[in-house]
Amino acid sequence: MTRSIRPLIVGNWKMNGLTASLNEFNAFGAGNDAALRRAVDLMICPPATLLFALAHSAPGKGISIGAQDCHVKDSGAHTGDLSAVMLADAGASAVLVGHSERRADHGENDAIVRAKAEAAYRNGLTAIVCVGETRAEREAGKTLSVIRRQLKGSVPEMMTAHDLVIGYEPVWAIGTGLTPTAKDVEEVHAAIRAELKKIIGKEEGARTRILYGGSVKPTNAKELLAVANVDGLLVGGASLKAEDFLTIAGFYR
């Protein structure tokens, strides 16, 4: 398959993983063979407790390391939080911002997500900005307007294709085993592409990677990654095992 945008597969481990997961990470590296490395970029976003260890075991594996969230500020009195400066210092090259679980569990709105994306940008991290509609919003026919509103509110205008990735994750598809049809994914990704061009400019918007996420499995990945404007996948549950993650990435070979 000829692609103008190099694909990216991101594994989001969420609140899973103990020090024993370092062994599993070795299996990720062992399976990332030369053909896969030529075809696709791979990234794992472990919990913060494993970030430093994975980042320091990553060289040679061809897998970059991302964080799952950052604070809007670079330092200060914010007990329990981690700044983009600290994540970069620990070895992360990217950070997820605005994941729907953060939006729901921590009340993060678009303005906060934007401030987090700015913190990432300031500190040289790629911001993976997540957007997605709820089931109620989809059923009300509001999917595209919700996505456009989230993008307008969450994506800083100065970002470029180099430091920005968009993750489209329908909230109702995350962890449920449900996925939108290929046609629905195509419609949303086309709308994201058009909106991105308005926000960060035509050239950067055309080159920015847009990932699909939500119940991606080895059984449905091939169909999803064949959809226009799907430049990779954001994988939750199926990223915990090297075998599943590498099978998914392997469809890019």
Would you call 118 a catalytic residue per the annotation? no
- Stretches 19-27, 29-37, 150-158, 212-220: which one binds ligand PEP (CB under 6 A)? 212-220
CA distances from 187 to 40, 57, 140, 155 (A): 24, 39, 16, 20
Q: Catalytic residue among 99, 133, 189, 204, which? A: 99
Q: From CA 192, how far away is CA 15, in angstroms rounded?
A: 28
Q: Does 235 bind ligand PEP (CB under 6 A)?
A: yes
CB of 229 to ligand PEP, least distance (A): 18
Binds ligand PEP by CB under 6 A, chosen from 55, 120, 174, 230 = 174
Applying CB under 6 A, does 12 fall inside the site for ligand PEP? yes
17 or 237, CB closer to ligand PEP? 237
Q: Which of 133, 137, 169, 244 binds ligand PEP (CB under 6 A)?
A: 169
Q: Does 216 bind ligand PEP (CB under 6 A)?
A: yes
Tokens 């199926």 identify what position?
238
215 binds ligand PEP (CB under 6 A): yes
Q: Which C-beta is closer to ligand PEP: that of 12 or that of 150?
A: 12
Total residues in contact with ligand PEP, by rule CB under 6 A: 13
Query: Under the criterion CB under 6 A, does residue 237 sit at the interface with ligand PEP?
Result: yes
Identify whether 139 is a catalytic site residue. Answer: no
208 touches 227 (CB < 8 A) = no
E-assigned strand segments in the chain: 8-12, 41-45, 63-67, 94-97, 126-131, 164-168, 209-213, 232-235
Q: Residue 12 or residue 21: which is nearer to ligand PEP going by CB? A: 12
Q: Which residue of 234, 240, 248, 249 would you call a contact of ligand PEP, by CB under 6 A?
A: 234
Q: Shortest CA distance to 132 belongs to which of 67, 178, 84?
A: 178
What 233-238 contacts at long range (C-beta under 8 Å, 24+ apart), as own/partner pairs, is: 233/9, 233/10, 234/10, 234/12, 234/128, 234/130, 234/167, 234/169, 235/9, 235/10, 235/11, 235/12, 236/11, 236/12, 236/14, 236/174, 236/175, 237/175
Residues lying near ligand PEP in the complex (CB under 6 A): 12, 169, 174-175, 213-216, 234-238
- Catalytic residue ranges: 99, 169
